[in-house]
């Protein structure tokens, strides 16, 4: 069994790869650290991961190359990729501590600052390949009917792709922290309670509207959508205050 310390985490998050590959690395490593893929278990196939994450198999393969190089996974010919990483005690880094201390209201305030600008930059900067990948992620969201956990994961991946599309690595990292903060607090539990099948359908329609605005380079409509979406999120939060 293999224990990976914070040095490996830093290497993985700063590895010299394309932005899309880095998103796949971050997503898979986060799942491994959270024991969604426990030690010694086999990862889903490259085809399955590519479909789930809305990327090409080559992108998944490159991400797995990095994880294997850092001994996070082990490839076994004819059998697949197996997890070697074993999570240690809960991290006490400033990053993790900050995420744990962030209240749902603080989280929503930061989203209100980041997301309109994030969407504006994505509309301007996303290239055709990234928009196509965003379309694949939207398709993943639209496949969900009642599974709240799958919907939240698909939604996170959609927002990650938009953050990546800004072309600003610092903004992307800041948004990763908002996702981590959401997981660390009871905000996720609140969302699970509110994500009824009807609301999931409403969100699916809304994200389709957002995608169309991004694909047509309509900055005003995309930013207006995200502002209204945040207002609805605030209303849901206030119901629980």
Spell out the per-residue pLDDT of the chain, length 241, in tens: 343 444 444 445 545 677 788 888 888 888 888 777 888 889 999 999 998 888 899 999 999 999 998 889 999 888 899 999 876 544 445 556 676 677 778 888 899 999 999 999 999 999 999 999 999 999 989 998 888 878 888 898 899 999 999 999 889 888 988 888 777 655 556 666 778 889 999 999 999 999 999 999 999 999 999 999 999 888 877 775 5
Among 203, 202, 208, 152, smallest CA distance to 182 is for: 152
Backbone angles phi, psi at 4, to 5 degrees: -105, 125
Backbone angles phi, psi at 80, to 5 degrees: 120, -165
Residue ranges matching CATH 1.20.120.530 in the chain = 94-239
Q: How many Å is the maximal CA-CA distance in the chain?
A: 53
Please compute, for residue 198, the number of CA atoms within 13 A of its CA located in the half-sphere on the CB side. 1
**Terminal alpha carbon distance of the chain:** 45
Burial label for 164, CB within 10 Å (0-12, 13-18, 19+), is buried
* 38: helix, strand or coil: coil
CB 154 within 8 A of CB 207: no
Instruction: Identify the CATH number of the domain defined by range 94-239.
Output: 1.20.120.530
Structure pTM?
A: 0.61
Instruction: Identify the CATH number of the domain defined by range 2-86.
Output: 1.10.10.10
Residue ranges matching CATH 1.10.10.10 in the chain = 2-86
Per-residue pLDDT at 88: 55
């Amino acid at each position: 069994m293999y224990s990976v310390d914070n040095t490996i985490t830093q290497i993985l998050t700063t590895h010299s790869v394309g932005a899309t590959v880095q998103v796949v690395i971050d997503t898979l490593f986060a799942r491994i650290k959270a024991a969604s893929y426990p030690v010694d278990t086999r990862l889903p196939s490259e085809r399955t991961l590519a479909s789930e994450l809305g990327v090409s198999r080559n992108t998944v393969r490159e991400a797995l190359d990095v994880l294997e190089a850092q001994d996070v996974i082990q490839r076994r010919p004819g059998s697949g990729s197996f997890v070697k990483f074993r999570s240690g005690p809960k991290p006490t880094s400033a990053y993790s501590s900050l995420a744990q201390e962030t209240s749902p209201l603080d989280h929503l305030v930061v989203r209100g600052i980041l997301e309109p600008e994030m969407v504006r930059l994505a509309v301007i900067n996303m290239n055709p390949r990234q928009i196509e990948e965003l379309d694949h992620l939207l398709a993943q969201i639209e496949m969900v009917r009642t599974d709240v956990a799958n919907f939240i994961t698909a939604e996170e991946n959609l927002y990650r792709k938009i953050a990546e599309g800004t072309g600003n690595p610092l903004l992307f990292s800041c948004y990763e922290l908002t996702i981590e903060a959401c997981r660390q607090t009871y905000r996720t539990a609140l969302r699970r309670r509110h994500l009824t099948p009807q609301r999931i359908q409403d969100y699916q329609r809304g994200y389709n509207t957002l995608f169309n605005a991004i694909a047509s380079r309509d900055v005003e409509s995309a930013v207006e959508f995200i502002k209204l979406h945040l207002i609805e999120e605030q209303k849901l939060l206030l119901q629980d205050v």
